Amino acid sequence: MFAQLKMMFPNLITITDNTTMDTVSYKWYVTSNNEIIGIPKTDLTQREKELLEILLTPYKANQPPTTDREKMWMDVLFHHEFPKQMLQEKLNDFHFVYFSLSDETIDPESFREAIHGLFPTKTPILWENNHEGVIIQEETQNSEDFISYSEIIEVLTTDFYMNIKLFIGPTIKNIKQAPDFYYWIKRCYHLTTSHNHDVMRYTEAIPYLFLQDINDKEQQLIIESLLNDVKEDEELLKTVQVFLESNSNTTLAAKKMYMHRNSLQYRVDKFIEKTGIDVKQFEGAIAIYLCLIMRTKW
């Protein structure tokens, strides 16, 4: 049946981990083999829609009505269109929190209310399907607004009697990079989900990603996301690499760099301040070191 449908509707697509479920432009159906397929609405006549609903099962992703802000984000992420308002805002420092729920029948409005009660501001929420989606945090948290994602999971698990997994993406500073990074964060979640972390942060995921078959573009996204604010500062990057190769021993690294210990410490602290990644801790150190090695490819 799939081959026949493909012949009738050449623009037919199937859902994979790398596919964004665009319910605005596509009608979605489930085949007898439990494949989820999408057909552009503009390719369907009313009669064809009625026939497909008889032959196939309409796939009703459990998506709530969206706010104006969520509609703008939908345009950015799913259609690569950048609303004038968002460009004028010069939106900086936002990141994606990809979520996956064990319960596919959850009421989206109840979920939204719970999320808005846990976050300091009403964050946009977009649904990929009836159990996965993304929370978009549009501003850097103040210390008093720090969010414990483990606490969020605990509250949601208690309130909704379900399991939830979160993948916390890196900070993004350019709205025009949002579509590529959204695709990448979603892929990162699916590449690392087998490691059974309820909360997985981006820097924590880097070693697991290197175990996967990631292409050059995805490798460059890793470099861009971790080193964006310091990528032009070769001296600083070299200092951090020597520091890590010296087992994070400041005195030894300073000797190798022929500089005073305090000067090297200043550079390491400067790197941490600019990137937000603590290379004095294991997770930050291994993520950055792998990234520094990888960038030598280009």
**Given pLDDT bands bounded at 50, 70 and 90, which one contains residue 143?**
very low
Angstrom distance (rounded) from CA 211 to CA 295: 17
Among 280, 284, 226, 286, smallest CA distance to 250 is for 280
Examine the pLDDT at 149 and tell me if it is beyond 80.
yes
Examine the pLDDT at 173 and tell me if it is beyond 90.
no
Examine the pLDDT at 65 and tell me if it is beyond 60.
no
> What is the pLDDT averaged over residues 144-163?
80
Residue 175, both tokens: 């709205």
Q: Which domains does the chain have, with CATH numbers?
A: 2-58 (no CATH), 68-205 (3.30.70.270), 227-297 (1.10.10.2840)
pLDDT in tens, 284-297: 999 999 999 998 87
Examine the pLDDT at 144 and tell me if it is beyond 50.
no
pLDDT in tens, 219-268: 999 999 999 889 999 999 999 999 999 999 999 999 999 999 999 999 99
Among 134, 161, 11, 1, smallest CA distance to 77 is for 134
Which residues are CB-contacts of 134 (< 8 A; sequence separation ≥ 6)? 77, 96, 97, 98, 99, 125, 126, 128, 182, 185, 186
Looking at residue 95, its pLDDT comes to 92
Looking at residue 61, its pLDDT comes to 59
Examine the pLDDT at 142 and tell me if it is beyond 50.
no
Q: What is the largest CA-CA distance in the chain?
A: 78
Residue percentage of the chain with pLDDT more than 70: 92
Is residue 77 within 8 Å of residue 182, measured between CB atoms? yes
